Structure 1
Amino acid sequence: MQSGLYDFVPILIQVAFSAVFVFGTILASNFLGPKHKASRKSANFECGLDSIGNARTPFAIKYFLVAILFVLFDIEIVFMYPWAVNYQEIGISGLLKMGGFIIVLLIGYLYIVKRKALDWEK
């Protein structure tokens, strides 16, 4: 079976439409948006607070630890979803494999609790 350039036409149309949409939206917002310049609008802004002080001030390691732990334990949902959707097809074998997976996650969670990684009082 030989494919030609004609097979790629739908992909090229989608890429062209996407490019036109992105650049068209940017140009439209540039032309239709307000043009008022003010020093207050040009100032740095972060999470509703004015920027004060040095940006190199160290954060507590707890912030990063909780963020990493959230990502780690949130990814488990990505692996559990296909199992839940195909539960009837994979049968008892899939149930045992998912049980092993959950036990590994539980061991990790118990380790985190034992190390008091989630205690903010320290």
Structure 2
Amino acid sequence: MSAYYPILLYAVVVLLFAAGTLAASHLFPLKPRKPTGIKRMPYESGMDPVGTARLQFDVKYAMVAIMFVIFDVELLFLYPWAVVAFGEESSASWRAAFGSTALAAVAVFLAVLALAYYYEWRKGAFTWR
């Protein structure tokens, strides 16, 4: 139990520091607090807000970002397989036992990804207006 005393002491010091910092910021403010109507307005890049915030926007960028994530995750699955299958540390027994099975699984995986890529291409996800 005595091994946990430093951790408990550290947690107490952290909590006291956080509470002290918050208390000091309220007791000794560094700026005058005089809220006005102009100070309470939303600020957007130096321009006055005009209109509503609920605007419709094109989701083309989001589609491209999602496709990037999908095809990026593909590499996360392929890289370990390629390192094990073709790396210098891979043994001949692994290739004999799992080589054709793993190759078939990766081929199916790539075929599904190619099909998804073709589908997105035919839907026009890669063309910009």
TM-score w.r.t. length of structure 1:
0.54
The corresponding residue for 1:82 is 80
Task: Give the percent of matched residue pairs that are identical in Structure 1 and Structure 2.
Answer: 32
Compare CA radii of gyration and give the structure with the larger one.
2
Using the TM superposition, give the Cα deviation of residue 66 of structure 1 relative to its aligned residue in structure 2, in angstroms: 1.9
Equivalent residue in structure 1 for 2:120, among 91, 102, 112: 112
Greater RCO structure (CA 8 Å; 6+ sep): 2
Change over 3 Å in CA distance of 1:52–1:96 after alignment to 2: farther
* Structure 1 unmatched runs, 5+: 1-5
Using the TM superposition, give the Cα deviation of residue 81 of structure 1 relative to its aligned residue in structure 2, in angstroms: 2.6
Q: Distance in 2 between matches of 1:70 and 1:58?
A: 23
Equivalent residue in structure 2 for 1:62, among 38, 60, 63: 60
Q: For 1:64, give the aligned amino acid.
A: A
Q: What is the aligned length? A: 100
Change over 3 Å in CA distance of 1:95–1:36 after alignment to 2: farther
Q: RMSD in angstroms over aligned alpha carbons?
A: 3.9
